[in-house]
Structure formats: structure tokens, C-alpha cells
Amino acid sequence: MSLRRLIAIACLGAALLSGCDDKGRRADDQVLRIAAGSLPASLGNPFKGNGRPGSLVWLAIYDGLTAINDEGRLGPGLAVEWRALEPNVWRFKLREGVRYSNGRPFDAEAAAEVFAYLATPEGQRTTIGSEARNIAEARPVGPYELELRTKRPDPILPRRLAAVMMIEPRTVARIGMDAYAQKPVGTGAFVMTGWDQRSRRLTLARNPASWRPSSIDGVVFYELPSATSRTQALLSGDVDFSLVDLEETERLERKRFHVVYTPSMQVKAYSFRNVGGDPASPLKDVRVRQALNYAVDKTAIASLLPKGAKPSGQPAPTGVFGHDPSIPPYPYDPAKARRLLAEAGYPKGFDLTMEVLTDAAPGDDMMSQAVAEYWRAVGVNTRLQVMTMPDFLMKYQTNTWAGEALALSWNSFQYYDVTRAMEDFSCTRPTPFFCDQAITERLKKARVIMDDHEREAAYRDLARLYREAAPSVFLIEHQDVFAYSPRVENVKIRHRVPVYEQMKLR
């Protein structure tokens, strides 16, 4: 059954609705309809991932103690002020008068209970629990004052907390996280009211008690894995807003849809394992990894992408703390790539399997195919193996990749700081896939420097070491592409997610 038909049936079958148009929509409808490539497998459990697709839903339901604002800077969330009392001790002043959607007040006691949950074995097995493992203690020091003590100094702790959603922990303790994820309780602008597994539709309604009130009545997410189907849903009027692929933007603009390009704060990369997998993998040799960088024409690929996409040769994109504008991309030099492969003992190349996602971000499919062709041209017979987003998240957590190469970018957007991206490509991960002990020892020292200028200088030195170690093909500074219908107004993209509550619908 088509998406339009499902919407029409829902409209016609509801006794309180009247005046639906030919697309099954009320004339006064104030519900924003969004096409998503995938919905979070964990639904309302916001600790199973750190970023999209989960954040498309979680940032509507929950809040963190801190938040990334419209300019990409750190700002207040459920905490309005914070300061470091000591390198290992932070004090947060919380926003007063905030309540969860079930009526429980949000206060320092509730916040401390969230961190206590993340410290449990169940919490530690999640992505966020793993990333919060440096927090040794969370305790209330007043009704609206929370103290966090870390195991080691962490100068970017307030940035990390933008990704830690403040669940309602007593409900989790009472019914368990699996049941809670089906009907989550948060402080955000919306509450989850329905999940239709068959039609892959997730429904949110306005939370009238939220401290950040919404201008619209609700949001409905439709899971449409294909970029083509998302574009068609926009053109037919079945949805109002979507991430779209590059090939669709010209057609959408001709039909008077708005198209927005925003930095994703990622360096798009195709990354290599030197931990786990085949112990005789050619990718364990730095000369091979460098060869694969020289083999790819990054400028040619960037020219096929929207304005703002530019080649990169380092972990941090422009605008992220730790970016070094003096570090160049690897030049396109296939002859040098072949020489390095021969020096490493692979004059005739080798076979390589790379795991990739499709339709996960604009240009993904094109870039994966292009990189594979460039590698084949220097003798590396590359086979692409498609994985789903749930597969990706599981393998990311456990380093159980099927291939030796993988579509894994240097992702700094959560914090707008390169720390997390560098930690990802280090021996410090609980399950590392790339480990260089010398680089990791430098990273351990750099990430505890409290002075921003000193830490930035240390990160720039590390960026050059990472470039030489070539744990990835550093490709381009990536962008997101959103499209929305003329009925949607006041669109803002914050932290790679639309600010739903500020939108207005005609």
C-alpha cells in the first residue's frame, strides 16, 4: 500500500478529523511529516547511538545538559551554567521548573540517576555509556546543582554532555529499558505517541508541558530507505521534509522546493582495520594505506558534490576544534600509489572487501563506487559489500566487520571538537579497529590539556601524525542536503537536525 494511501486512510478513519485534502491532509494540519532513510532500531532508547538516524527523533523528545546552538557553539540545555572546580570536577547549575512528560520534576537528583544508569553493566554496553565511561561519579549538591567527577581531566566534558539525553530514570528502573524505549519519557518539545512497525511510521505529539514549546502539533516520521522514494514522497506532497541525495536537488528546486546545504562536521573517509580481521591483511602496512590515499582523486570527487565540499587530508573539518588549515590533502598520484604497493610486496595488487552504507548521506553511493574504481585502477581489486545501519552500529561497537576496509568517517559533529574522532581511531576504544600505540600515547596526553591553545597545538601535531599513519582515505569535508516543501517555514538546522518546534506550517 502506498504512503499516500496510508495517510488518506488514517485521515478518513479518524472521527475527529474533517476537511482532508486529496493527499489525506487536513486544511489546518499542523503536523510535520518527515521522510527518514532509517529510524533508530532502539526507538526511544537514546543511548544506543550518537548521531543520526537516532538524533532525528531523540532531539525532539529529550534534552541534554548542554546543547549545540545554531552557530555550532556550545550552549545551555537543561544546564544553564557550568564550570570546572578542578581538572577532574565540574559543577553544573540546572534549569529550574522543567518537568518530564510524566510530570516528574527534572532536578539534580534525576540527572544523577541518569549517570548512575549509564554506569551499570547495561548502560556501559551502549554507545553513550561507553563514551561516558570517564565519569566516575555524579551527585547532587543542591536541588538544581549537579557535580560530576571524572577519572581523568576532560576539558570537553560539557561538549560530550550534549549527546547524553536526560531520560526519566525511575521509569526505566520500574519497567526496564526495552519497554521504556517503546514509550519514552523526556523533557523535550514532543512525546512519542505511536510506532507502527508494519508501515514503519513513528508519531510524536506536542508536549504541552515542555520548557521549549512547539509551534506545531506534532511530527510523523516515515522510514523510506531509498533516496528516490524520499524525493517522490516530497514531490507528491506525502511528506514535507527530508534528507535528499545530490541527484535529486535540481529536480526539487525546479518544483519550487527549498534545498539547504549544511556542514556535517565530518571528514568523509574510507577507513582501514589494523586490529582484528585477517592477521595477514595488506592494510596493516602503512605504505599500503598511504598508497590507497594517493590512488584517489579527491578533487574530482569534490567537484561532483555541492558547494562547500572540499578535499581533506586530516581528521578535523573546517570549523572543528583541532582543524589545521596548513595540512594538505594527499595529492592524486596513481604512479606513486603503485610504487608504494610494490615496495610493500604487492606489485600486482590484492583483493579487498569494503563494507559500505547506501543512502545514508548525500553522495554516499557515488563516492563509494568512485573510490573502489580508483583503487581497482592501481591493482586493488575492491568488492563493495552493503550493510544496513543496524549492522553498522553493531559492528562499530564490536569491531566485527566482515571486510578490512569500511565506510567510517571522522565524525566530530557531536562536539565540534576532534577529540572523539581521534579517540575513535585509537587504541583507547574498548574494541579498537585501528591502533597506533605511539599516536595513542600522544593523544592521551593531548586530550587532558585544559588550556585550549595548548590543546589545539597538540591536536594539530596529532593531525599530521594521523595523516602519515593513513588509517583512512581522507576524502572530503562532507555536507548534509535537506529539502522541504513551500508549506514549511522558519527552518533551522541545528546539530544536523531540524529544530522542529520552531518550524511553522502553512
Please give, one letter per residue, the 3-state secondary structure of 458-470. HHHHHHHHHHHHC
Write a three-state SS string for 45-89. CCCCCCCCCHHHHHHHHCCECEEECCCCCEEECCEEEEEEEECCE
| 237 touches 3 (CB < 8 A) | no
pLDDT of residue 198: 85
**pLDDT value at 370 more than 50:** yes
**pLDDT value at 21 more than 80:** no
Q: Please, which pLDDT band fits residue 225 given cuts at 50, 70 and 90?
A: confident
pLDDT of residue 343: 97
pLDDT of residue 259: 94
What residues contact residue 434 under an 8 Å CB cut-off, 6+ apart? 271, 272, 273, 274, 275, 425, 426, 471
Q: Where are the beta strands (DSSP E) in 337-407?
A: 350-356, 380-386, 405-406
Whole-angstrom CA distances from 179 to 40, 126, 184, 495 are 15, 16, 8, 28
**pLDDT value at 295 more than 90:** yes
pLDDT of residue 415: 84
pLDDT digits (tens, 9 = 90+) for 98-128: 999 999 999 999 999 999 999 999 999 998 9
- Segment 261-289 shows an average pLDDT of 92
pTM of the complete model beyond 0.85:
no
What residues contact residue 302 under an 8 Å CB cut-off, 6+ apart? 309, 310, 311, 476
pLDDT of residue 307: 67
* CA angle in degrees (0–180, nearest 5) for 273-429-166: 130
- Segment 343-347 shows an average pLDDT of 97
Q: Is the peptide bond before 471 cis (omega within 30 degrees of 0)?
A: no
Least confident of 65-79, 92-106, 182-196: 65-79
- Segment 76-89 shows an average pLDDT of 96
**pLDDT value at 28 more than 80:** no
Where do the CATH 3.40.190.10 domains begin and end in the chain? 3-36+189-257+485-505, 62-172
Better pLDDT: 318 or 4: 318
Q: Please give the single-letter amino acid code of residue 61.
A: I
Top-level class of domain 3-36+189-257+485-505:
alpha beta
Cα-trace Rg, the chain:
23
Q: What is the mean pLDDT of the chain?
A: 90
| 474 touches 293 (CB < 8 A) | yes
Is 62-172 a CATH 3.20.20.140 domain?
no
Q: Tell me the fold of 263-479.
A: Dipeptide-binding Protein; domain 3 (3.10.105)
Better pLDDT: 46 or 307: 46
Q: Please, which pLDDT band fits residue 27 given cuts at 50, 70 and 90?
A: very low
Cell numbers linked to 417: 571538537
Q: Where are the beta strands (DSSP E) in 207-293?
A: 218-223, 241-243, 258-272
- Residues 4 and 2: their CA atoms lie apart, in Å, by 5
- Segment 127-144 shows an average pLDDT of 94
47 class by beta-carbon count within 10 Å (0-12 exposed, 13-18 middle, 19+ buried)? buried
Please choose, from the candidates 433, 434, 459, the residue with its C-alpha nearest in 3D space to the C-alpha of residue 444: 459
**pLDDT value at 239 more than 50:** yes
Partners of 406 in the β-ladder: 271, 355
Cell numbers linked to 177: 529499558
**pLDDT value at 51 more than 90:** no
| 269 touches 409 (CB < 8 A) | yes
**pLDDT value at 334 more than 50:** yes
| 124 touches 48 (CB < 8 A) | no
C-alpha dihedral (98, 99, 104, 109), degrees to nearest 10: -30
pLDDT of residue 496: 85
Better pLDDT: 172 or 72: 172
- Segment 136-141 shows an average pLDDT of 97
Q: Which of 26-35, 303-312, 394-403 has the highest mean pLDDT?
A: 394-403
- Segment 389-406 shows an average pLDDT of 86
**pLDDT value at 6 more than 70:** no
pLDDT digits (tens, 9 = 90+) for 416-467: 899 989 999 999 988 999 999 999 999 999 999 999 999 999 999 999 999 9
Q: Please, which pLDDT band fits residue 163 given cuts at 50, 70 and 90?
A: very high
Cell numbers linked to 300: 574530482
Please choose, from the candidates 154, 165, 80, the residue with its C-alpha nearest in 3D space to the C-alpha of residue 114: 165
- Segment 129-155 shows an average pLDDT of 96
Where do the CATH 3.10.105.10 domains begin and end in the chain? 263-479
pLDDT digits (tens, 9 = 90+) for 482-495: 999 999 999 999 88
Q: DSSP string of 135-176?
A: EEEEEEEETTEEEEEESS--TTHHHHGGG-B---HHHHHHH-
- Residues 498 and 450: their CA atoms lie apart, in Å, by 32
Better pLDDT: 13 or 120: 120
pLDDT digits (tens, 9 = 90+) for 468-482: 999 999 999 988 899
Q: Please, which pLDDT band fits residue 265 given cuts at 50, 70 and 90?
A: confident
Whole-angstrom CA distances from 78 to 185, 219, 243, 415 are 15, 22, 28, 17
Please choose, from the candidates 306, 271, 286, the residue with its C-alpha nearest in 3D space to the C-alpha of residue 482: 306
Which H helix or E strand runs over 501? none
pLDDT of residue 308: 67
Percent of the chain with pLDDT strictly greater than 70: 93
Q: Please, which pLDDT band fits residue 226 given cuts at 50, 70 and 90?
A: confident
- Kindly report the backbone phi and psi dihedral angles of residue 8, in degrees, each rounded to the nearest multiple of 5, phi listed first: -65, -40
